[in-house]
Amino acid sequence: MAVIEKVRPALQGDGGDIELVDVLAEDKAVLVRLKGACFGCPMSTYTIKGYVEQVMKEEIPEISEVRLVK
Total domains present in the chain: 1
Domain that holds residue 9: 2-68
Q: How confident is the model at residue 15 (pLDDT cuts 50, 70, 90)?
A: very high
Instruction: Tell me the C-alpha to C-alpha distance, in Å, between residue 23 and each of 15, 61, 67.
Output: 25, 14, 10
pLDDT at 1 over 80: no
pLDDT at 70 over 90: no
**11 alpha carbon, distance to own chain's centre:** 10
The predicted-structure confidence for 20-54, as pLDDT tens digits, reads as follows 999 999 999 999 999 999 998 999 999 999 999 99
Among candidate residues 49, 47, 53, 50, the one with its CA nearest the CA of residue 34: 47
How far is Cα 21 from Cα 31, in angstroms, rounded to an integer?
Answer: 5
Q: Domain with 39 in it: what CATH number?
A: 3.30.300.130
